[in-house]
Amino acid sequence: MNLLNLQPSTLGLSAVVWALLLAITTYGLGRAAAVNARATRVWAATLLSMAAAFVCWSAGTAGRGWIDFLLGNALAVLCSVLFLNAIWILVGRSIPWGWSVGQFGAGVSGVGWVYFLGAPHGWAVVTIALAILATAMGSIVVLLQHRRIRSSVAGWTLIGVLLLVCVFFVASRLAVLVFGGGALAVRPLADHQVQVISLWLTHLIIGGASLGFLAVLMQQRRDAALARSRLDRVTGVLTQQAFAEQALAHLAHASVYSVLRLEVDHFQRLSEAHGREAGDAVMQQVATQLLRALRDPDVACRWGADSFCVLLPHCDETEVHGVASRICQSVASQDLALPAPVGLAWTQAAPASVALSASVGVATAWVPSEVALVTRQALDALIRRADEALYLAQSMGRNQVQVVHTGAFDASWAEPLQAAGSGALRRVF
CATH architecture designation of domain 240-343+351-427: 2-Layer Sandwich (3.30)
Of the candidates 271, 415, 421, 424, the residue with the CA atom closest to the CA atom of residue 354: 271
- pLDDT for 420: 36
Kindly report the pTM of this predicted structure.
0.63
Mean pLDDT by groups of 10 residues along the chain of 429 residues: 60 85 82 74 91 85 70 92 93 89 95 87 85 90 87 84 78 64 60 73 84 85 79 90 86 88 93 86 92 89 94 90 92 80 48 85 84 82 93 93 64 40 38
- Positions of CATH 1.20.1070 in the chain: 3-229
- pLDDT for 346: 43
Distance, in Å, from the CA atom of 366 to the CA atom of 316, rounded to the nearest integer, reads 8
- pLDDT for 417: 37
CATH of domain 3-229: 1.20.1070
Rounded to a whole number of angstroms, the distance between the first and last alpha carbons of the chain is 86
- pLDDT for 177: 63
Distance, in Å, from the CA atom of 346 to the CA atom of 339, rounded to the nearest integer, reads 9
One-letter amino acid of 97: W
- Positions of CATH 3.30.70.270 in the chain: 240-343+351-427
Q: How many CB atoms lie within 10 A of CB 429?
A: 16
Whether 364 contacts 316, CB under 8 Å: yes
